[in-house]
Structure 1
């Protein structure tokens, strides 16, 4: 086995930052009515700006594959070109197509040469799974390099016209406010963007990051789905797939909208996160004092204090001065968020040789968690 280093990072954030007051103009009004949830959700999530692959009229400006390709192209220079790429590993929650794979569509835009591909699906951990595939490939000697990505183009899923056929149901919001929270609140939480890492088997460039280890956990064996799309949850907790619905119901029931069971989210997301992080650190004999920077992906600043408390209760209390986050000005970009955080830290000028970084990514899809521990070389 050889060592693996993140030698370069890059990002692509589409168009201009969108402020809180501009959001509804981009996404549109459902039933010609301003959202009742918007201000409450924005007050809790602490996000002030985000990015959309949309113009001011709500027209798409980029596909997910184009965002991803844009991030990858920032990695190319005189020392590493598209022709040098051996493995392309791409993670996303929101691919442009069911088929072909997201990685194949990105490779089609690169137009470089034949490479090995991997596409990771899921929710926020799709990006970490893509990173782990690239890490293991380079570490095993299968390839000498890999480009790994996380990306989302979720804005078009949240446009008002996607919900027009559900207006009759939306009129019952006063009687059933949970419908608003399951479907409406995510419109004010999620945004677009992509970022990419170059992994190589030798430390190159300024402040390369050695990947010491990666760990992942799933609790799907004991917990039902929390965040889902392309189906709907039944009373027994199972998900009825989109292919089992009549085509007319795809629209009337907003089957393809992204939904979240917030009761389950609040009950489990922090507890399982603290338990899994404690296990990851213990397995690799890492103590809190061994961490210089802690990069936790959180969907909302609402969860920050709760996460801190949950970690403290498990004996892995990380002082807040070690936390590094960019949610406020970049937004929640799902599987790309951890890439965008690390990219910003790598290019901040703060890192020095010997610093260590812990990446932490929860996924509420069916409660899975991923971690990576890095050392600045």
Structure 2
């Protein structure tokens, strides 16, 4: 089933903090090595927010970057959707903080927590709101400061996570809409394998560890993703009446390079058609896809009109896959 759409992605902006955490730095913190990390994850560096730098700060700088690059105006946006699991506050929302910073009037503002699938969830929601006629111009922003909730005594997980933010503008375009189809689902019984505790410390009777830090059973997350995502890719292609050859770029959540390679092998996707951000930014959760897109823009890989298969997946477990036409003009 093809998606009804009257919207396209029309602009992009990103920001990552200046502070770098290399594999060599991690060797001084936990029992690990550059070789061990690279072999298992493909990661070389991550960016970390400073002590007084928070998710809203990263998101604001990503929007400022978009605003600088966008040839139109943002004064007429009518909704802000922010995907994050590391908001500055329980409330107000990060979206409200962004609205206040830029001073936009008559703008809706909401945060979405779909973990690492947040960017694709946000894009899916923006397309629906615009196509329905309720809105015309929506900022979809993903930002994370995962370093603030990472347990740096856990050698298996602290090597993974980094901080960053990205913004995409979605606006009404009836002549050249960009959203083709989607697939979405949830496997809630996988929640115990990837979580961060909040107001309660149990899950259906199970006692949870973590004390506010992220806890991940990497093996179970890996198995679920490699088993599930290739089938989702097949569904997307069937619904869009497309073949793999019609896809210019596969852009999955950059969780782990080895995981992505396994997914590609099972799905029959050549690795040279994959865009990632994991090597130099680590796992940035919901921000990873937009960071990968912008790296491709900056390296002159991604062109207007390219067909993209975006696939966000993560804690919950939850996922959203999209096939879209890239609608951002060259700079």
Q: Is TM-score (shorter-chain normalized) higher than 0.5?
A: yes
Give 4+ residue runs of structure 1 displaced > 6 Å after superposition. none
Contact 1:127–1:149 at 8 Å: present in 2 too? yes
Q: TM-score under structure 1 normalisation?
A: 0.76
- Please point out which of 90, 94, 119 is paired with 1:102: 94
Q: 1:184 to 1:322 in 2, by over 3 A?
A: same
Mapping for residues 245-284 of structure 1, pairs under 5 Å? 254-284=210-240
- Please point out which of 139, 146, 150 is paired with 1:147: 139
**Partners of 1:233 and 1:118 in 2: how far apart?**
26
**Partners of 1:117 and 1:255 in 2: how far apart?**
30
Q: 1:351 to 1:36 in 2, by over 3 A?
A: closer
Question: Which ranges of structure 1 fall in alignment gaps of 5 or more residues?
Answer: 26-33, 55-59, 161-179, 242-252, 312-316
Q: Secondary structure of the residue that 1:112 maps to in structure 2?
A: coil
Q: Secondary structure of the residue that 1:124 maps to in structure 2?
A: helix
Does residue 1:15 correspond to 2:11, yes or no? no
Q: C-alpha offsets along residues 328-374 of structure 1, whole Å, 9 cap, x if unaligned?
A: 122211100011111222343234454311112221x1322211212
Q: 1:201 to 1:347 in 2, by over 3 A?
A: farther
Decide which structure has the larger Cα Rg and report it: 1
Q: 1:233 to 1:286 in 2, by over 3 A?
A: farther
Partner of 1:132: 124
**Partners of 1:351 and 1:210 in 2: how far apart?**
15
**Partners of 1:23 and 1:51 in 2: how far apart?**
13
Contact 2:311–2:320 at 8 Å: present in 1 too? yes
Q: 1:16 to 1:262 in 2, by over 3 A?
A: closer
- Please point out which of 242, 245, 253 is paired with 1:286: 242
- Please point out which of 156, 160, 174 is paired with 1:185: 156
Q: 1:342 to 1:185 in 2, by over 3 A?
A: same
**Partners of 2:78 and 2:206 in 1: how far apart?**
38
Q: C-alpha offsets along residues 50-93 of structure 1, whole Å, 9 cap, x if unaligned?
A: 21112xxxxx1411011101111222258434422211010012
Q: C-alpha offsets along residues 225-284 of structure 1, whole Å, 9 cap, x if unaligned?
A: 3210015886x875558xxxxxxxxxxx64201001234224322101222222222223
Does residue 1:72 correspond to 2:66, yes or no? no
Partner of 2:324: 374
Q: 1:187 to 1:209 in 2, by over 3 A?
A: farther
Question: Which ranges of structure 2 fall in alignment gaps of 5 or more residues?
Answer: none
Contact 1:119–1:130 at 8 Å: present in 2 too? no
Q: Secondary structure of the residue that 1:84 maps to in structure 2?
A: coil
Structure with the larger strand share: 2
